[in-house]
Amino acid sequence: MAETIPSFIESVSEAEDRLSRLLNGRCEISVHRELDEGLKAVIEAIDHEKFRQELRYSRDELDSRSERKGFLCIIASLDGRAIAFDYGYDDEEEGAFYSDNTATLIEGKGVGTTLFVLEIIHSYECGYRYTKLSTEEVDEKGRPLRRIWGRLGFETVSSDPLKGVEMRLIHTPQGMRSIYFRYVSDRQPSS
């Protein structure tokens, strides 16, 4: 019988352990259902450092998103300093969780992907049928974003030069197990 993935809370704990080892420091992950002024400031600081002007959210836009039904924000800190965030909420389409924004100050170590996968595990555990996102074809660093998300199992739903690329990950037990063992846990899956 295939091993099931741990709960979202257990996955957060495993992700902290894994990221602590990868980053050679103490990584803590906090989960929030609403944003206070301090959390908004953390998100804005990371958002403004990582994204070009036209992709940054204003405080009003961030406030609006944080008031959406099902809002979830995950923050990663390394040795007490916030280094990454991920947030999303109920999509307008029934049964979908919309992953709105992920950013990390430490790239190439799996921090952003780990938070994103935790968000997906959360949405699966909460009964959403799939996770949606919107992205560009290629970011300002030349990274092929559609292909990157495709490696996580996302499929393209639509592509528009003005609106960007809409992608969807259908939640299946096998898919959740795969991304959990690839991006969250250091344990080897049982056969």
Comparing CA positions, the residue from 69, 64, 62, 68 lying closest to residue 42 is 62
- Residue 55's pLDDT band (cuts 50, 70, 90): low
Rounded mean pLDDT, 71-83: 97
1 pLDDT higher than 50: no
Cβ pair 103, 75 in contact under 8 A: no
Instruction: Give the model's pLDDT for residue 109.
Output: 92
Q: What is the pLDDT of residues 96-143, one digit of tens each?
A: 999 999 999 998 899 999 999 999 999 999 999 999 999 887 777 777
Question: How do the domains of the chain map onto residue ranges?
Answer: 8-183
2 pLDDT higher than 90: no
The residue among 72 and 145 whose pLDDT is bigger is 72
Coil vs helix vs strand at 43: helix
Cβ pair 183, 114 in contact under 8 A: yes
Cβ pair 179, 154 in contact under 8 A: no
CB environment 25-57: b (16+ within 10 A), e (fewer)? eebbbeeeeebeeebeebbbebbeebeeeeebb
Distances (CA, A) of 14 to 5, 80, 100: 11, 18, 24
Q: Does domain 8-183 have CATH number 3.40.50.1820?
A: no
Identity of the residue numbered 179: I
Poorest-confidence range of 24-28, 37-41, 109-113, 146-150?
146-150
- What is the chain's mean pLDDT, rounded? 90
Q: What is the pLDDT of residues 156-189, one digit of tens each?
A: 999 888 788 899 999 999 999 999 999 998 776 6
Helix axes 37-50, 59-66, angle to 10 degrees: 120
Instruction: Give the model's pLDDT for residue 57.
Output: 80
- Residue 191's pLDDT band (cuts 50, 70, 90): low
Q: Give the C-alpha separation, 71 to 88, whole Å.
A: 6
